[in-house]
Amino acid sequence: MPIESFLFDIHEGRPVEGFTLSAGGLEATLVAHGARLVRLMVPGRDGTSADVVLGFDRLADYLASDAYFGATCGRYGNRIGGAAFTLDGVRHGLAVNEPPNQLHGGPDGFDRRIWEAQVEEAENAVTFTLVSPDGDQGYPGTLTATTRYQLSDDGVLDIRMTATTDRSTIVNIVHHSYWNLGGHASGDLRDHRLTVRGGFTTPVGADLIPTGEVRPVDGTPFDLRGDVGRGGVGLGEALEAVGGFGFDHNWCLEGPAGELRPVAVLEHAGSGRRMELATDQPGLQVYSGGYLSEKIVGKGGQPYCRFAGLALESQRFPGSPNIGHFPSARLDPGETYRHRMQLRFRTS
């Protein structure tokens, strides 16, 4: 089917374009504000489709929210402790939006921008482009970033992020959809199962900044590798075991960074939907939506309770620019930052 283009909204006098891609029984709706995925219709075992991503119906609600629903986050996704880093002996102070730290690129991060869109009809894809000027939110260098969404007949949503710079900088662009395979309006995630192929995490302090330790998951609630024959770990029991607000932690993924490999599986027995995530990144942030509340009213007037959606953010490690033994987030002129995440949907 041809890509459908439409006007999603107007922001500060500028049109915010929207696009719907269809293939393989899936429908993905994207908008230029935040290079964002706002809707993904996926069929279940009985053929009934449900929208499996959390979000809003209106741009005004996205602007008023700090949940990052479906957004492309940058220039540095996740947290940088103290909202500062040193590169080549120069300290760069960043805009603070989670005092005293910076989260997801700052108060005016990439999720807050209107990206330029280019439709690739023959590839059933849309590429969004954003130019971030030197000094933007405190980061050095003029950065040209792209996010490309492609939907294919084999039930795969392929997301590719790139960046180039004219000055040495740091980059960690992440995709921030919240998934609920029962449907965005189906309640919490306790009836899902999750597998993460990672034997280590990077523990955090009270400020959610990594301490620099790399800790084995064996014998802890963070062991989400699953059991042979049972599939993934039940999220209900896992959330109860970890307590509090649930997961908001980085896993060190198995396999070589830089190569696309399978790293996580999310399953919902009730609908039969299964989502398989592959990425080329070294880390995966698992955020179980512990800070969501029914004060957040989403699509169709649906209140989103705690644990209503699961973000699976492939990434460089949080805090990497200030922790020397973590994978580097440095990008120099002449290089191209690349980040790929591939989401394959099946039924069982």
In tens digits, what is the pLDDT along the chain, a chain of 348 residues? Answer: 799 999 999 999 999 999 999 999 999 999 999 999 999 999 999 999 999 999 999 999 999 999 999 999 999 999 999 999 999 999 999 999 999 999 999 999 999 999 999 999 999 999 999 999 999 999 999 999 999 999 999 999 999 999 999 999 999 999 999 999 999 999 999 999 999 999 999 999 988 999 999 999 999 999 999 865 567 899 999 999 999 999 999 999 999 999 999 999 999 999 999 999 999 999 999 999 999 999 999 999 999 999 999 999 999 999 999 999 999 999 999 999 999 999 999 998
Residue-level pLDDT at 229: 53
Q: Give me the pLDDT at residue 226, please.
A: 81
pLDDT of residue 231: 73
Given the residues 17, 267, 276, 313, the one annotated as active site: 313
Q: Which residue among 175, 176, 184, 268 is the active-site one?
A: 176
In angstroms, the CA 24 to CA 101 distance is: 42
- Tell me what pLDDT residue 192 has: 97
The whole-number pLDDT of residue 255 equals 96
- State the pLDDT at residue 205: 92
CATH number of the structural domain 4-347: 2.70.98.10
Enumerate the domain spans of the chain.
4-347
Q: What residues form the annotated binding site?
A: 78-79, 176-178, 248
Residue partners of 158: CB distance under 8 A and separation at least 6: 148, 149, 150, 151, 152, 340, 341, 342, 343
pTM: 0.97
Active site residue 313: yes
According to the model, what pLDDT value does residue 227 have? 66
- The answer to whether 259 is a known catalytic residue is no
Residue numbers in the known binding site for beta-D-galactose are 78-79, 176-178, 248
